[in-house]
A and B are shown apart, each in its own frame.
Chain A
Amino acid sequence: MAKSKKLRSVADYDRARKEASAQRNAYEARISIGCTSCSASDGRALLEAFQAEVARRGLQEKVLVRLSGCHGFCAKGPLVVFVPHRICYLKVKPSDVPEIIEETALKNNVIDRLVYRDPKTGQKCQLESQIPFYKRQLRLIMDYNKRLDPRDIGSYFAIDGYEGLIKALTRMEPEDVILEVKNSGLRGRGGAGFPTGFKWEFCRKAKGSSKFIICNADEGDPGAYMDRSVMESNPHSVLEGLIIGAYAIGADEGYVYIRNEYPIAVEHIKLAIAQAYEAGLLGKDILGTGFSFDVHVERGAGAFVCGEETALIASIEGRRGEPRQRPPFPATKGLYNKPTNINNVETLANIPLILTRGGSWYSHFGTRNSKGTKIFSLVGKVRNTGLVEVAMGSTFREIIYDIGGGIQDDRPFKAVQTGGPSGGCVPAEHLDQAIDYESLSKLGTIMGSGGMIVMDDRTCMVDVARYFMSFLRNESCGKCLTCREGTQRLWEILDDICEGRGKPGHLPLMEDLAHCVKDASLCGLGQTAGNPVLSTLRYFRDEYEEHISEKRCRAGVCKPLIEYRVVAEKCVGCLLCKKACPQDAITGELKQAHVIDGERCIKCGLCYAACKSDAVEHVKSRDLCHA
């Protein structure tokens, strides 16, 4: 890892950049191992195995083994990419390492079993760019991840990192930077979608002796991890965006507010800040331009509401993380009552791109009102789970079917939930809807930070609403009565419906209540807290009604409403369900139809999941039939 010298001028920077890229190109082969999100599938062990193997063979001079940022294809992690051939191996295990070094690194042979095979066509894809998951994406931000080592500022220099900052500091006035960002049409990626250039302008124009800029990395939506991945994989791009933003609004101090539950992201951003100080890109008189800027890292304690900007400010000030009324907006009265600008991680990661390549270039991507790309975390019942970056205006179908590879086990698609807990569910009839801020809000959901949870027919929408409401009732700060009590009461009603205690009056009551929570709550959390209920009621009302009047759950999720039984005609007597049952409630011999004892069954659903011949089915509970 290059020890960077302090850069005192632009000429110094150019030299460092050339050195870094020469150093990188000195190796015959480079092996990049996804080690951020992929550490969930043991990427670290793989890295160590590669390092040990290379050392054992004495190849340190020829082969560079390094960790890389997130490649995004989580379903197939950990990923290993070879440069210069760009061969991509998926789901690599430490036991594969000697073979990979032997065959690929030394003999340039491709190991067939480790490359991607398209499940539809059976075609093999040696290169990352051939894999359909990547082919259909537009990866402006994510593409850098695999090309750099997040722990090394040199590797960021080697891909022309910090060039946007140099350009801004040496050739542009702060007003020009703001104009460039305005021209790009970039809108906040944190959820509300406020135009970033205008936000900066308000803060620039606000009166105040000192100003602050904050990077909001308090991502807390269940199932969403875009910001985490960017922070872990390319912390310098976020830092660069933050410094450019500080220059634009005239801030001399900045904060990165990051959740403590992201240890790798915290480590990487701290390391990046330390390296940037060392390189003279932070601190006093940056590169001799006279601009000074300091950055601190503030760790959040895990409260979801601290992602709301006024609560975040309160949290940094050491007070209880609780939102307050706006106006006054943070742009005029924010952190320590000074003008403050808060941007999301992904927003800031877009800034270097806009500065280096120009706002008008950036504005070519996307729709009329939503420009650029958006990273979605595609999770749930979809084949290719992972992080997907597409141009604004892509349709749900493109993301879920073309990139995501369709629904697992080819089951029918039911809905996709976007925007995190305060978003909504979009049903199958809107699959061809182009995604941007406005279209999502018309569908009754929000862009949010970019979570996308795909659901199949085995998902009960009432249960989904109950889950999100349960999250919200625990994460509401509790200040507003409507949010605290409203989410609790909504959850109680949803729980009643799921448990078979639903009453006809529940639906209108829920609608009234959800609207009240939306209208009367203080902050963004409360104002969107009604969405999970309202959107599921809008598109899946029949399912609610079924739960209430017929006490039936068609997805078989609400356990009190169902019971399992074996269809004797379909049962092949394979014993799989019998083995899966933790209660010994299933009787039957090999090759004879099995029977479930209702008395002992706890409705865990393991038999249902285990059965290969669809012989276990769920029917309406007999207790309810008699009632």
Chain B
Amino acid sequence: MPRVTIDGLDLDAERGDTLLDAARHLGIEVPTLCHMEGLTPWGGCRLCIVEVGAGTRSRLVTSCTYPVEEGLKVRTNSKWVIKTRRMVIELMLGACSGSKELQDLAAKYRMEEMRFKPRHDDCILCGRCVRMCDEQMTGSAIGFLGRGQSLTINTPFDKPSAACRRCGGCMYVCPICTLRCQGPDAPTEVCGRCGSMAPTCSDVFEDYTCYMGAAGDCGTCVREEKKTAASLFCAPEPAKVTVGGK
């Protein structure tokens, strides 16, 4: 059993486990987007990056694809990881500004603004649907088309495919379209107003939830943050939060 050290905690991991498995086994939170239990790890969203190795040879790898190795030292919360992860979230948010999941993630990482021109893509190209269709539904009806800026997910040649049984599995696993943010776009595009029903903000603001009213009406998210809540985060430096941009 390879022994790994994650954030100072030793673990005898199962051979064949990934760093993400090991971290979660220890109860360490590592955010993921393209990862989903039951689907092969893919490493596309880069959200689950962790720092491995020591000194000048340390580097960032995606924990969902990196296998545990004997003696590997892993840091899931180093400054480097957090800084890079914030930029990853910012890039995601730039592409799918309306996604509730991403807005919540940004709020959780105490991001105050998104500095890119917002786009409202329907797809973050995480590839969950492609793997779902192929691996769980044995449909292989959809796949990636093109590359670079023209990369899309669709059926071959953009034509209706006989291989598609319309099972809806792809929609079921989509992290972006299933939870579209219902609230208005904030000027800074990081709103965290949690307009939809998922009570993520209750994780952040102890005694308030968004069940209280219509989208953004409750106004709780924009008030002061509970001091005790700071311990919930992995962000390195305490920052003054003006989530909601008002």
Write the residues of chain A forming the contact surface with B, with a CB cutoff of 8 angstroms.
Answer: 303, 305, 320-322, 324-325, 327-328, 473-482, 484-489, 492, 505, 509, 512-513, 515-516, 519-522
Contacts and interface: CB of A to CB of B under 8 A. Distances in A.
A520 B84 contact: yes
Interface string B114-155: 011100000011010000000000000001101111110000
Contacts of B147: 303, 305, 321, 474-478
A320 B44 CA distance: 14
B77 interface: no
B49 interface: yes
Contact of B91 (A303, A320, A489, A505): A489
Contact of B148 (A328, A484, A505): A484
Interface string B142-184: 0110111111000000000000000000000000000000000
B205 interface: no
Interface string B197-240: 00000000000000000000000000000000000000000000
Interface stretch (B3-11, B61-69, B104-112): B61-69
B45 interface: yes
B94 A489 contact: yes
A481 B148 contact: no
Interface residues of B, number: 38
B92 A481 contact: yes
Contacts of A513: 87, 91
Contact of B44 (A303, A327, A481, A489): A481
B94 A485 contact: yes
B91 to A, nearest CB: 4
A512 B111 CA distance: 15
Q: Top 5 A-B pairs ranked by shortest CB distance?
A: A478-B151, A516-B87, A325-B65, A485-B91, A474-B148
B205 to A, nearest CB: 28
B46 interface: yes
8 contacts: A325-B65, A475-B148, A482-B46, A482-B87, A484-B125, A513-B87, A516-B91, A520-B84
B84 A519 contact: yes
Contacts, number: 98
Contact of A521 (B46, B95, B116, B143): B46
B39 interface: no
A475 B149 CA distance: 8
B186 interface: no
A569 B92 CA distance: 56
Interface of B: 42-47, 49, 59-62, 65-67, 69, 80, 83-84, 87-88, 91-92, 94-95, 115-117, 124-125, 127, 143-144, 146-151
Contacts of B69: 327
With a 10 A CB-CB cut-off, give which of B49, B61, B62, B147 has the most chain A CB atoms.
B147
Contact of A482 (B88, B94, B125, B151): B88
Contacts of A485: 91-92, 94-95
A486 B91 CA distance: 7
A505 B115 contact: yes
B49 A478 contact: no
A478 B116 contact: no
B148 A478 contact: yes
A509 B148 contact: no
Contacts of B43: 324-325, 479-480, 522
Given A480-B44, A484-B151, 16 more contacts: A321-B147, A476-B147, A477-B151, A478-B147, A479-B43, A481-B44, A481-B45, A481-B46, A481-B91, A481-B92, A482-B46, A485-B92, A485-B94, A487-B148, A489-B91, A512-B87
Contacts of A522: 43, 46, 62
A352 B94 CA distance: 52
A478 B84 CA distance: 18
With a 10 A CB-CB cut-off, give which of A321, A486, A519 has the most chain B CB atoms.
A519
Given A473-B148, A480-B44, A520 B115 contact: no
A481 B124 contact: yes
Contacts of A480: 43-44, 46
B8 to A, nearest CB: 22
Contacts of A505: 115
B144 A516 contact: no
Given A481-B46, A482-B91, A485-B95, A519 B80 contact: yes
B60 A327 contact: no
Contacts of B143: 320
A485 B121 CA distance: 12
Contacts of B66: 325
A327 B67 CA distance: 8
B239 to A, nearest CB: 16
A305 B87 CA distance: 24
Contacts of B65: 324-325
A613 B125 CA distance: 55
A497 B245 CA distance: 27
A521 to B, nearest CB: 7
Contact of A477 (B59, B94, B148): B148
With a 10 A CB-CB cut-off, give which of A480, A485, A505, A509 has the most chain B CB atoms.
A485
B61 A489 contact: no
Contacts of B83: 512, 516
Contacts of A516: 83-84, 87-88, 91
Contacts of A519: 59-60, 80, 84
Nearest to B146: A478
A512 B86 CA distance: 11
Contacts of B87: 482, 512-513, 516, 520
A178 B205 CA distance: 63
B115 A509 contact: yes
A476 B148 contact: yes
Nearest to A482: B46
A324 B44 CA distance: 10
Nearest to A513: B87
A248 B234 CA distance: 50
Contacts of B115: 505, 509
Contacts of B124: 481
A489 B116 contact: yes
Given A327-B67, A516-B87, A492 B117 contact: yes
